[in-house]
Chains A and B, each alone.
Chain A
Amino acid sequence: NAGVTQTPKFQVLKTGQSMTLQCAQDMNHEYMSWYRQDPGMGLRLIHYSVGAGITDQGEVPNGYNVSRSTTEDFPLRLLSAAPSQTSVYFCASSYVGDRASYGYTFGSGTRLTVV
């Protein structure tokens, strides 16, 4: 009963480095997404996917890449880290088509610091 698993929980990067934030879910959810949370800014959508092989941009996609090769995994790649990408990142997943139980399941977050 793992739900949504995010790794790592904490990461410090130097400016210009690249890294991948991992997200995996075991609920067979079609929809997966990445949000970032910054102080005073709430949760902002970075990228999302409605199924394997299908991804699209959210509100703040610049500097991030995603791919969805399986239903379970939705990694977020930082191509060249910048201090502005210091944030807490949340992965979320849900079923599609069932609006009655339309809550996302969130992971516990990855706290990223870019120095």
Chain B
Amino acid sequence: DQQVKQNSPSLSVQEGRISILNCDYTNSMFDYFLWYKKYPAEGPTFLISISSIKDKNEDGRFTVFLNKSAKHLSLHIVPSQPGDSAVYFCAASASRSGGSNYKLTFGKGTLLTVNP
């Protein structure tokens, strides 16, 4: 059972436009959510996170929105740049699950391509 779902394997946008990457989760115990970016032949790098007590977190061009009732989060990149082309992973953790609060569950990833 996939607890973190990224239903779009790929997304293509034009430079300067907004990129919206979506993520859904099924485990109601998840209370912390993160996005990672991964370039080919490199390890993932942490991008931005959000706690379940918030519904929005912003860091420069990157904003993450959390809709707890819908169990949905999204990552907005504005404006998109060619260097943003990478695979983006959504991840979640549950702080109340008896010691497993450092275990991240990842989605399958979305390949973002930003065209010049």
Contacts and interface: CB of A to CB of B under 8 A. Distances in A.
Interface string B77-116: 0000000000001010101000100111111110000000
Interface string B30-68: 001010100001111110010100000000000000000
Contact of B102 (A35, A41, A94): A94
B103 A102 contact: no
A106 interface: yes
Interface stretch (A14-22, A42-50, A63-71, A78-86): A42-50
Contact of A45 (B32, B36, B49, B104): B104
Interface string A1-43: 0001000000000000000000000000001010100001111
Contacts of A35: 106
A107 interface: yes
B49 A102 contact: yes
Find the residue from A31, A40, A106 having the highest chain B CB count within 10 A: A106
Interface residues of B, number: 27
- Chain A interface, >50% SS class: strand
Contacts, number: 61
Contact of A106 (B9, B43, B107, B108): B43
B32 A58 contact: no
A107 B51 contact: no
Contacts of B4: 42
A4 B42 CA distance: 12
B100 to A, nearest CB: 8
Given A50-B102, A92-B43, A108-B42, 6 more contacts: A35-B106, A59-B105, A96-B102, A99-B95, A102-B32, A103-B49
16 contacts: A40-B108, A42-B89, A42-B106, A43-B91, A43-B106, A45-B103, A45-B104, A48-B103, A99-B51, A102-B32, A102-B34, A104-B36, A104-B44, A108-B41, A108-B42, A109-B42
